[in-house]
């Protein structure tokens, strides 16, 4: 039996780009369903996503990136999807890379696969402060996970139902779900992989790491990562590993 796949796109005022992104997802993953989490947009994001054939999950106001993602996870869990892919709705992530990232999960060898922009060289210029934070937490993640992690801040991810369940019922961050999430996954026995992907520079969307936000990000991760190493979710929230069989 074929696995049911859901691609989720958290979106805030991405009406000018969302149609193109959804069309590309349908082209490269024709058997997948698409859900756009409209995070309180004030433009035509919801209408254009609906016209493009996506399911729209509206939030009452702008709740933040992490909250939008968890809305998608809960929807996937409730509707029985076997695997989920998350990409940005601004066109930064290339939907053509979805099949390769997803294959690492649906094959049963890994529970979650991160699309890394750094496995095949530097993608584009990154501000110095943000780059310093990425290098720091890349080393932290690699040390804790016991494997090389090149892009712990990537929002391009594929995951199986076991991870979907964990993210839906656990303490998922509402603002910056990055290195701390990978640490929590490893701490609870999930298998993490990376796959090379192409990422384009963000266009008009203001980055969640813009301005002084990287300083807050560094401070938060320094507090949360040790806590995630101590926290243990109830056993019922962590399902047995996926065997990879239909």
Taking only the tens place, the pLDDT of each residue in 64-74 is 999 999 999 99
Nearest alpha-carbon partner for 111 in 3, 192, 14? 192
To 10 degrees, the CA torsion angle through 71, 9, 141, 214? -90
| pTM across the whole model | 0.84
Predicted confidence band of residue 210 (pLDDT cuts 50, 70, 90):
low
Q: Which of 12-16, 177-181, 187-191, 242-246 has the lowest mean pLDDT?
A: 242-246
Q: CB–CB of 137/179 below 8 Å?
A: yes
pLDDT single digits (tens) 4-47: 999 999 999 999 999 999 999 999 999 999 999 999 999 999 99
Predicted confidence band of residue 183 (pLDDT cuts 50, 70, 90):
confident
163: Cβ contacts below 8 Å, ≥ 6 apart: 111, 112, 185, 190
What's the pLDDT at 102? 98
- The domain spans of the chain are 5-237
Q: CA geometry: angle at 190 spanning 224 and 76, to 5°? A: 90
**Pairing between strand 192-196 and 112-116?**
parallel
What's the pLDDT at 236? 52
Distance, CA of 205 to CA of 203 (rounded, Å): 6
Sheet holding 5-11, edge to edge: 55-58, 33-38, 5-11, 83-86, 157-160, 112-116, 192-196
**Chain-wide mean pLDDT for the chain?**
85
| CATH homologous superfamily, domain 5-237 | Spore Coat Polysaccharide Biosynthesis Protein SpsA; Chain A (3.90.550.10)
Is residue 226 scored above 90 in pLDDT?
A: no
């Amino acid at each position: 039996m074929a696995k049911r796949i859901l691609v989720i796109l958290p979106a805030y005022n991405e009406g000018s780009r969302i149609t193109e992104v959804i069309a590309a997802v349908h082209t490269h993953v024709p058997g997948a369903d698409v859900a756009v989490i409209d995070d309180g947009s004030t433009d035509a994001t919801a209408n254009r996503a609906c016209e493009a054939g996506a399911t729209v999950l509206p939030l009452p106001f702008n709740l933040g990136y992490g909250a939008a993602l968890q809305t998608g996870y809960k929807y996937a869990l409730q509707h029985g999807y076997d695997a989920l892919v998350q990409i940005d709705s601004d066109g930064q992530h290339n939907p053509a890379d979805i099949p390769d990232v997803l294959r690492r999960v649906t094959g049963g060898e890994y529970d979650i696969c991160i699309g890394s922009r750094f496995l095949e060289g530097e993608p584009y210029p990154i501000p110095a402060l943000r780059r310093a934070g990425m290098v720091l937490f890349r080393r932290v993640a690699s040390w804790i996970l016991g494997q090389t992690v090149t892009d712990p801040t990537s929002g391009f991810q594929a995951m199986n139902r076991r991870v979907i369940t964990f993210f839906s019922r656990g303490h998922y961050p509402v603002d910056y779900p990055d290195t701390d999430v990978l640490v929590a996954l490893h701490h609870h026995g999930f298998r993490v992989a990376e796959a090379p992907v192409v990422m384009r520079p963000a266009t008009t969307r203001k980055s969640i790491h813009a301005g002084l936000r990287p300083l807050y990000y560094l401070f938060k991760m320094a507090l949360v990562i040790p806590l995630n190493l101590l926290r243990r979710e109830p056993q019922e929230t962590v399902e047995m590993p996926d065997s990879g069989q239909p």
